[in-house]
Amino acid sequence: MQKRKLGNSNLEVSALGLGCMGMSFGYGPAQEEQEMISVIRAAVDLGVTFFDTAEVYGPFTNEVLVGKALAPIREQVVIATKFGFHFDANGKQAGLNSRPEHIKEVAEASLKRLNIDAIDLFYQHRVDPNVPIEDVAGAVKELIREGKVRHFGLSEAGVQTIRRAHAVQPVTALQSEYSLWWREPEAEIMPTLEELGIGFVPFSPLGKGYLTGKIDENTTFDSTDFRNTVPRFSPEARKANLALVELVGRVAVRKKATPAQIALAWLLAQKPWIVPIPGTTKLHRLQENIAAATVKLTEDDLHDIENAASEITVQGARYSEAAQRMINR
């Protein structure tokens, strides 16, 4: 697989990474560990060098899984994890916490769970309104100085937060949602990243599965699947948004590809410093997603997609109100 550099940093990764969250959390029950280790190792065999996890996935179990899976090939891969949440006495996620002393505690705990000596990319998972971003960046700067972290990242941060953080400790990458059905970052975020030389790591590049064409208004999700709480996944919104899936599907037929591959190829074509991290628990989906890196969209293809997409208004908020409150714009 081709490699890409995240912004002006020297952090080189595969053009597509693997989001590991869904293996433990979010999209239904946790999957069987040995099976997921096999999927992660298959990704390495297929050229993926960039793996994304976080302490909150599980909580905690996803980091352990990723650490076990990548232990034999640690030197060949880049592991990203995240800090920024508070957990209660029962280990349940309970609000935000990016106080500098907490960041350092999380780093130590993540290093242990991942069984590594240094975290390649350490993101603030959500901006904490109670802690100045300069203090957050300063804490990560110290961890970098100590050799425990190699690169600093932000997730779902707004332009001013990115600028203020970057002035204290250069930000290597921003991770935020971006896909054909959530294009808000194009307005202000992406020009800022380009100006500052920061890479962009889109999560949910397949619209939480919707852009694959495998979901319609009749699809049901497991009771533990967070999409049940997402307004954009109400049956009415799913039905209303089929026009976007049909658009991707038409291009897929023309390019002899799948809708998922077109959605990923479209992202890769936007900027050379974009590295999407589609997640999956299935080997055949992993193979399908990775093959997207070989799909070449021409200027005419991109123009056609843009024209058709501009006629479509996507229905439904992308998060529940509670989740939306944790996003800084």
Catalytic residue among 27, 57, 123, 210: 57
Q: Which of these, 287, 304, 25, 279, lies nearest to 180 by C-alpha position?
A: 304
- Main-chain dihedrals φ then ψ at residue 27, nearest 5 degrees: -110, 40
Backbone angles phi, psi at 199, to 5 degrees: -75, 160
- Residues 6 or more apart whose CB falls under 8 angstroms from that of 76 comprise 44, 49
Active site residue 57: yes
Phi, psi of 130 (to 5 degrees): -90, 0
Catalytic residues: 57
